[in-house]
Amino acid sequence: MNFDSETAEAEWMYLYGKVAPAALGVTVARLRSGVVFHMRFDPIDYWSQALGFTEPVTADLLDEIVAHFEELGAETATLHFAPDLLPPDFEELAAARGLVETSAKVKLGGEAAAVKSAPTDLRIAPVTTGDAAEFGEVILTGFGAPGTHLSGMIAASVGTPNSYPFAAWDGATMVAGAVLLVHGDVGALHSGGTLPAYRNRGAQSALISARAEAARKAGCRWVITETACPNPGRLNSSYNNMRRVGLEECYRRAVWRWTREN
């Protein structure tokens, strides 16, 4: 598989930054080939990130990223680079700037038309603007952060160009949701969350399949997504769902954390 698997991920982050409620204190900008996203009032310590870069990583690029977060008064942020962009001396460059490797993600992808269908007894359908508020809250409940302004950020993205939200319903009750962002010939599958009481009923696998089909119809050849790297001996439902429908590992990508005090 030979396609840009970083930019589409950054584009959905950029979209969220543009529609985020003011209460989250979001600043999002393009920096060289990537995106830098800072959330001053982040209730889950996740959203301040630099990602989407398609150019080789250099000392100058790292300095620009760190300077950007420093100028915003950020306390911490994570930096993400595809492994083939890293120079041989990257660990030395990272250490000199106080970057610490804290975890890793795995990028998965495949041809949209090759994604397998996934059975579920839940109803899968697109989300309309009338369901936006509920959609945002369902996803954030799935992530363990209900009742925050993050729900409003997800909700505000419903109806925006190139963004295709889908949900799963049990009768009239929305129980899971996820989003597709179309960027050129790549569709990014992101923001999948399921209410705890409805897990293990195939919602997320079915939502992957539905979004892959929507991506194909929108002209995408590829779909990509990412999740935490699976640890030996520990269940990783997200990773298993992705592999079950036919997505393949593209690469594993370290998460580098910058902290102001470092």
Same fold, 7-106+253-259 and 111-250: yes
The fold of the 7-106+253-259 domain, in CATH, is Aminopeptidase (3.40.630)
d(CA 193, CA 58): 36
Per-residue pLDDT of the chain in tens (262 residues, 90 and over written 9):
667 889 999 999 999 999 999 999 999 999 999 999 999 999 999 999 999 999 999 999 999 999 999 999 999 999 999 999 999 999 999 999 999 999 999 999 999 999 999 999 999 999 999 999 999 999 999 999 999 999 999 999 999 999 999 999 999 999 999 999 999 999 999 999 999 999 999 999 999 999 999 999 999 999 999 999 988 877 688 999 999 999 999 999 999 999 998 6
Residue 5: φ, ψ to 5°: -100, 0
- What is the C-alpha end-to-end distance of the chain, expressed in Å? 38
Domain ranges for the chain: 7-106+253-259, 111-250
Q: Would you state the structure tokens that stand for residue 246, as one six-digit string?
A: 């036919």
Q: Which CATH code fits 111-250?
A: 3.40.630.30
Structure tokens, 90: 């990257």
Sequence-separated (6 or more) residues with CB below 8 Å from residue 29? 35, 36, 68
